[in-house]
Amino acid sequence: MENKVVGSIKDFDEYQGHKIQKLSLTNQNGVTLSLLTLGATIYEINIPSETGVQNIVLNYYHSKDYLANPYYVCMAIGRTAGRIKNGNIILAGQSIQLPQNEGKTNLHGGTNGFNSQIWQGKIIQIAGNDVIEMSHLQEGDGYPGKMRIKILYSLSADDVIEIKFCAISTADTLFNPTQHIYFNLGKNDTVKEHLLKINAKQIQKLDSNKIPLADRVTVADTPFDFRQPTSLDKAIAAMNDTAEKGFDDIFAVEPDKDNLVAVLSDPLSKISVAIESARNGLVVFTANSFTQQNMNFVRTNGIGKRYEGIALEPQTLAPSKGDGLFSAIKLAKGEEKTYTIKYHLNYER
């Protein structure tokens, strides 16, 4: 069979004395997906346009820029996405203290999460096409068990990016990975002109430290109602009297018949991304707290701008009834678990 998706590996730069590589896949339409081995970070999603290629994700000039601020830009997140109260978990009746990296909270896997690791990057072949494999032995992050983790990144002939997180652990542990991609589908410095649709009737209630509570709140008649494509400009304006002046919220999504949970589109660039995930949660963060400093973005020439991108983070939430989060995201010793996220890219050809 003809090989339609072609991979390559190049040296990118160095981080703390370690060589960082950039791995890329290009399909026959001229779409390119590239990743850095630091943090298994999505570095570029380049889409062909009349004026040359357009990168639709935020990226920085150097590897070190990715760890110079608390925003996890486009990085792999694990073992657990989101916030765990006091960093304390109960597994098999045992209380375990995880690192606290945001006040007392454990956020996005703690201090030594997936994003801070240097992954082993390879190009492998699946069904005649090149695929990026990032692998790593996750240990020393305070979670029980050594976790063998492999993330496969593929790009199809019809412009679907698929991310598969596959893990197995030597002890019972937690596994709730995501990829923290910040999209900006246009040429503007903010995503305000974008439209967002989310298949969610409810959001999760949060406490003052943004820890999810058991209760859910209906989105009807609130700025959280994205059940129809909604202008981010208007939605963000409606959040103006909140402390954050934007969204950093957990949507309880109901995947549709095609497992789509959200669609982000830009009427100006005519680019859209539809997100497919079978899981029940989507965190939406509109980069409300981005600052000019420590955000060496390529797009905005070395500074950060509020609302410069939007992160849409598929993950698992506790079910609304019954068991809590820890049983929903438990990975038993020796069990193999795979989570898949797909991004369908659409653009004018």
71 touches ligand GAL (CB under 6 A): yes
* Shortest reach from residue 210's CB to ligand GAL, in Å: 6
Taking the C-alpha atoms of residue 134 and residue 35, their distance in angstroms, rounded to an integer, is 9
> Where do the DSSP E strands lie in 104-159?
106-107, 120-126, 129-138, 147-155
Sign, Cα dihedral of 263, 174, 21, 296: positive
List the one residue from 15, 72, 114, 175 that touches ligand GAL (CB under 6 A).
72
* Shortest reach from residue 312's CB to ligand GAL, in Å: 10
343 touches ligand GAL (CB under 6 A): no
* Shortest reach from residue 298's CB to ligand GAL, in Å: 18
| Residue 117 DSSP one-character state | S
Between 3 and 292, whose beta carbon lies closer to ligand GAL?
292
Sign, Cα dihedral of 97, 98, 99, 101: negative
Kindly write out the interface string for residues 279-308 of this chain, putting x where it contacts ligand GAL by CB under 6 A and - elsewhere. Answer: ----x-x-----------------------
Between 31 and 287, whose beta carbon lies closer to ligand GAL?
287
Taking the C-alpha atoms of residue 37 and residue 120, their distance in angstroms, rounded to an integer, is 7
Kindly write out the interface string for residues 98-117 of this chain, putting x where it contacts ligand GAL by CB under 6 A and - elsewhere. Answer: ---------x----------
Catalytic residue of the set 133, 276, 308, 313: 313
Active site residue 44: no
CB 156 within 8 A of CB 57: no
Taking the C-alpha atoms of residue 22 and residue 232, their distance in angstroms, rounded to an integer, is 32
Active site residue 313: yes
Q: Between residue 191 and residue 210, which ones bind ligand GAL under the rule CB under 6 A? A: 210
Backbone phi, psi, residue 72, to 5°? 50, 40
Taking the C-alpha atoms of residue 142 and residue 303, their distance in angstroms, rounded to an integer, is 34
Between 77 and 195, whose beta carbon lies closer to ligand GAL?
77
* Shortest reach from residue 257's CB to ligand GAL, in Å: 27
Between 188 and 289, whose beta carbon lies closer to ligand GAL?
289
Between 75 and 147, whose beta carbon lies closer to ligand GAL?
75
* Shortest reach from residue 158's CB to ligand GAL, in Å: 29
Catalytic residue of the set 108, 136, 180, 194: 180
Element (H, E) at 327: helix 325-328
Backbone phi, psi, residue 64, to 5°? -60, -25
Q: Between residue 146 and residue 175, which ones bind ligand GAL under the rule CB under 6 A? A: none
Between 71 and 297, whose beta carbon lies closer to ligand GAL?
71
The 3-state secondary structure of 183-252 reads ECCCCCCCCCCCEEEECEEEEEEECCCCCEEEEEEECCCCCCCCCCCEEHHHHHHCCCCCCCCCCEEEEE
What are the structure tokens assigned to 200, written together? 């969610």
List the one residue from 99, 248, 300, 326 that touches ligand GAL (CB under 6 A).
248
List the one residue from 34, 42, 313, 329 that touches ligand GAL (CB under 6 A).
313
| Residues found near ligand GAL in the complex (CB under 6 A) | 71-72, 107, 180, 210, 248, 283, 285, 311, 313
The residues assigned a catalytic role are 180, 313
